A and B are shown apart, each in its own frame.
Chain A
Amino acid sequence: MSTQVDARGLSCPQPVLMTIDTIKGEKTGEVEILVDTETSKENVSRAAANQGWEVADVAEEGDEYRITIRRE
């Protein structure tokens, strides 16, 4: 089961910082991040990739985005 980060309603850079803090703790596996702006979606995806995580999926769900990142 993947870890989930709910960053909906938060403004930049908080979604990014929450994501980085989570993946630093997880090291490997799968993390889902929920955000509600396109800017946060892009920033979180960029930050995760920079930390060596693969952005496996970005699902648009209404006004929200579910970003799935993975690392083996």
Chain B
Amino acid sequence: MSFLGFFRDKLTQGSPGDNGNADRGIMVFEHTGEVIQAEGALKRGGWEIRVMGPPPEIQSGCDLVIEFPLIERLNILRTLEKEGIPPLQMVPVTGPLLQPVDIFHVKDFGEYLMVRAANMKLTVEKATGMIVNVSGGGCPDVPYLASAMVGRSLGDAPSPREIGHTLCGYSLQLAYEETRRRCLV
């Protein structure tokens, strides 16, 4: 299944009146590389943003969007234009079909927890925090990422962002951060 198919299949629940996202917007970019660059620039600027999957109503752009505080729209746009990565669209989240989709899927296997972010899966042993499996993607650096991370604990494993070179590395970084958030409380 493609990235896009994965996201399109995962409609979020809720209605526009009760979703608490009335003050949020989404930015659509042409390429995932621009999403990654924009995420870095905006986080460095201190904005609270989240990389998510595109909502069903958005038919343009790549397979990731950035959710942002709508009130900061102009400041964010200026920042991205200065960085040379203006978004294709900036859209307020005004209805269920414009809700961005959570890119995380978590599955509990009893002693193990798997976190999938987009196309990459990271599985850890709950009791020890040891990474027991890294899979998914199909990018050339996945075997390297797996060999560098499997068998190490979440606290000791290298960050995929530092050792990865592809979109799979980026997705794995998201899974790694979400797993650490869940397991290293």
Interface residue ranges, A against B (CB under 8 Å) = 12-14, 16-17, 20-21, 39, 42-43, 46-47, 50
Residues of chain A within 8 A of B112, CB atoms compared: 13, 17
Known: A43-B135, A47-B132. A13 touches B114 (CB 8 A): yes
How many chain B residues touch the partner (CB < 8 A)? Answer: 17
B136 within 8 Å of A by Cβ?
Answer: yes
Binds A, one of B69-77, B146-154, B158-166: B146-154
Number of A-B contacts (CB under 8 A): 40
Given contacts A46-B150, A50-B151, contact A16 B143 (CB under 8 A): no
Q: In terms of DSSP, what is the predominant structure of the interface of chain B?
A: strand
Do the beta carbons of B135 and A39 come within 8 Å of each other?
A: yes
Complex Cα distance, B123 from A46, in Å, reads: 14
B143 touches A17 (CB 8 A): no
Distance, CA A20 to CA B124, complexed state (A): 12
List, in ascending order, chain B residues with CB within 8 A of A21's CB.
111
* Residues on B with beta carbons closer than 8 Å to the beta carbon of A17: 109, 112, 123, 132-133
Measured between alpha carbons, how far is A46 from B150 in the docked complex, in Å?
8
